[in-house]
Amino acid sequence: MNKTQLVNVKPPCIYYERCGGCQLQHLSNESQNQVKQEIAEKYLSSFGKVEDILVMEHPYEYRNKIQYSFGYGRKKELIAGMYAENSHSIIDIDQCIIQDPQADRIIHTTKKIMKKYKMEPYQEDRETGFLRHVLIRTGFTTGEVMVVLVTAHSIFTGKKNFIQLLTKEHPEITTIIMNINNRSTSMILGDKETTISGKGYIEDILCGMRFRISSKSFYQINPKQTEVLYNTALKMADFKGNERILDAYSGIGTISLIAARQVREVIGVEVNPDGVRDAIKNAQTNQVNNVHFYQADAGEFMQELARRNEPIDAVIMDPPRSGSDETFLNSLCSLKPQKIIYISCNPETQARDLEYLLSHGYRVQKIQPVDMFPQTSHVETVVLITRENK
């Protein structure tokens, strides 16, 4: 990518200066791409050539998941939005230009119903009120919508009327879940939840396969670019059809099931029980029989495979932003896969992990950035790593 002078523009979002959810709206799309390319190169160019970033044609309205907090404004008016960066101050937001527009409309309706029935938002400082957050997940291909009402307690006065009004205004809502979070915590979701309307999950289609998504399961935020990401990763892997591979952070089984069409067997490992349960259902729905999912710590699971001398030809890994710890990487090296496909949302921690892998007999073959989060400073990178034959 040719580097040119960055071009500043007027941010299209009126909340940009206060919100902090986006960091690059003050730059043109081309300049944003350049910044992300430079971030990837800063951390990864020492390992090899960084290919030009794969960008999104329409870099707006791509988020299929939103979570808004509810509270009172300065004039004691009901507000809903996101916390300002590094604070517990809620910014009242009517429209977020990077998320599904119908989610904004559902939030507006929720506020109207709350005012009608005098439903109080939860106030952290006083520990009073009822509704803490609303989480909305959308299946962009199926059109299914999940609404999760995160409440401070289980007593939902007027629940029937609330559901009727919300679903009448928004017939696209296919399920409503009540999640109870009565702890003083920054975590959005609590441990206990109940389905109060619909089937308790939504489905979406990704790379031609249907996936079940529950409230707590991980599913990529930007489905259109996820297809680009996964197709890029699998093309780089260049599977021949007879491989036995392991997906070390398998979630609801998205890349495991998509990769299963190209290999002999896939083993998916995920520590989140909700994700594993969805993954098993997804395998059944898509009639994929060469994938097996396990609930376990991926590092411990790989150590056990290594102890049993079970052959694994390739490992796909997509860890959290913090990357993988040394215990995991040590387990990965003990397993000795010929290929590692490392997907990361943080090139800095990815570079740290690559240093470890290179010191244990691996080398980097290809580096490909993908823009999964337009308008933000985040960049996804896929790196193909192979084992040196000595």
Q: Which residues are catalytic?
A: 345
Pairing of strands 78-83, 90-92: antiparallel
Nearest CA to 195 among 167, 181, 214? Answer: 214
How far apart are alpha carbons 361 and 138 in whole angstroms?
43
Distance CA 104, CA 112 (A): 13
Residue 384, SS3 per DSSP: strand
Cα dihedral sign for 270, 274, 275, 280? Answer: positive
Burial 282-295 (b: 16+ CB within 10 A, else e): bbeebebeebebeb
Contacts of 58 (CB under 8 A, 6+ apart): none
d(CA 77, CA 54): 43
DSSP state, residue 127: T
Q: For residues 22 and 373, what is the distance between their CA atoms, to the nearest angstrom? A: 9
Burial of 11 (0-12, 13-18, 19+ CB in 10 A): middle
DSSP 8-state code for residue 99: B
DSSP 260: T
Please state, in angstroms and rounded to a whole number, the distance separating the CA atoms of residues 316 and 270: 12
Query: What does residue 196 show for φ and ψ, rounded to 5 degrees?
Result: -110, -5
Conformation bin of residue 241: beta by default, left when phi > 0, alpha when psi is -120 to 50: left
CA–CA gap between residue 83 and residue 360 (Å, rounded): 43
